[in-house]
Amino acid sequence: MSRVIALLRAINVGGTGKVAIADLRKLVADLGFADVASYIASGNLIFSGDGRATEALEALFEAKAEKQLGLKSDWILRTPKAWRAMIEASPYPDFAKDNPSRYLVTVFKTRPDPARLDEVRAMATLGEEMTLVGQALYICFPEGAGKSKLAGAAIEKRLGARGTARNWNTVLKLAEMAGA
């Protein structure tokens, strides 16, 4: 069975969207999926799939998480092949190598509107560069994401799609864990 990478949007270990990562692993395992693992407590799971399409699994996990854990959150799933393609499509490989914690990829659930990318670029104030490739927005944060005005919700609103961001270190670790 192929591995699957799952990213949960807007969850954390405290405050809004609070959920224990152990509860998420258990939810997936209780649904019959094997080899469930997590990476840091920020909504990253890897598990063995059962052959169903990622879109079908997203809907299943969203419904079960809301019913069983009271968690209303987007689940964004990718196969190792799709994850590897996302890594290889990176338009800023040198920045990623030199600044992996300042290089973020927002992985979208649906295809964002590329015609609206200039609206996001207009928000950049600290030398941020970005490129949208398919369902991934790659952003270089020379001064760090914490100082930037490029907040996730503002990006989603302008591009018309919901997503969740991970830094390059996390992207590569998930690839390793999934065998991508």
pLDDT in tens, 97-116: 999 999 999 999 999 999 99
Q: Identify the band that residue 13 occupies on the pLDDT scale cut at 50, 70 and 90.
A: very low
DSSP 8-state secondary structure symbol assigned to residue 103: E
Q: Looking at residue 180, what is its pLDDT?
A: 75
User: Looking at residues 148-172, what average pLDDT do you find?
Assistant: 92
Kindly state the percentage of the chain with pLDDT values over 70: 96
Q: Identify the band that residue 55 occupies on the pLDDT scale cut at 50, 70 and 90.
A: very high
Picking from 31, 26, 35, 24, the residue whose alpha carbon sits closest to that of residue 1 is: 35
Neighbour count for residue 129 (Cβ, 10 Å): 14
Is the pLDDT confidence value at 17 over 60? no
Provide Rg for the chain, Cα atoms: 16
CATH of 3-78, one of 3.30.70.1280, 3.30.1360.120, 3.40.50.300, 3.40.50.970: 3.30.70.1280
Is the pLDDT confidence value at 14 over 70? no
The answer to whether the pTM exceeds 0.85 is: yes
Is the pLDDT confidence value at 33 over 50? yes
Going through the chain in order, the beta strands assigned E by DSSP cover: 3-8, 34-38, 44-48, 75-78, 103-108, 129-133, 136-140, 163-167
128: left (phi over 0), alpha (psi -120 to 50) or beta: beta
Q: Identify the band that residue 38 occupies on the pLDDT scale cut at 50, 70 and 90.
A: very high
Q: Identify the band that residue 15 occupies on the pLDDT scale cut at 50, 70 and 90.
A: low
- CA separation, residue 136 to residues 56, 67, 75, 166 (Å): 20, 29, 15, 11
Average pLDDT score over the chain: 92
32 φ, ψ (degrees, to nearest 5): 100, 10
Domain boundaries along the sequence of the chain:
3-78, 83-178
Give CA–CA dist 179/68, Å, rounded.
30
